[in-house]
Structure 1
Amino acid sequence: MQKHAALWAGMAQRKADEPAPAVVAPEPGDRRFAAADWAESPYFDYLRQAYLINADFLKKVADSLPLDGQAKHRLRFVTR
């Protein structure tokens, strides 16, 4: 919840021609957000960061569940 609050605060203070400070970044090697529009457009920047915050939360939930290796691997894949 704190990361979402920080994201909202950063977006509210963002000026039209300046990027907001990043609250979260994609994992190294994650190419899904490689296009410049994801960082340059305020709308897409917000979507990217909100998605990454939520995905990180779901990954932590998946890791905390008492599942066997294959089931946990599948769950982590679909929560990415």
Structure 2
Amino acid sequence: MNCCGKKRQAWLMEEKAAKSQSVVEVHAQKAPTDQPTRWFEYLGNNQLTIKGIGTGTPYHFKFKGDKLPVDYRDSFAFMAERELRITNGE
């Protein structure tokens, strides 16, 4: 009888692990956002390419004064860059 109890316990543990894994996968998917796009202006003298931390999108500023729209999910990391500032767009 001990053998069946251990199999049942092992099966229950596997079921729990499978359920928790599917929950993690659902939360890991990128959710669309209803937040507005933010515009950033480049203040540096060279070129600058930054990969968005939220979306993985590469943003390439080609020259001083170049302005790009940045996805809201990426914008928080851009705020930490010294050579970028938020602007009202074009």
TM-score of the superposed pair, with normalisation by structure 2: 0.29
Question: Which has the larger share of helix?
Answer: 1
Q: Which has the higher contact order (CA 8 A, sep 6+)?
A: 2
- TM-score between both structures, scaled by the size of structure 1: 0.33
Task: Name whichever structure is richer in strand by fraction.
Answer: 2
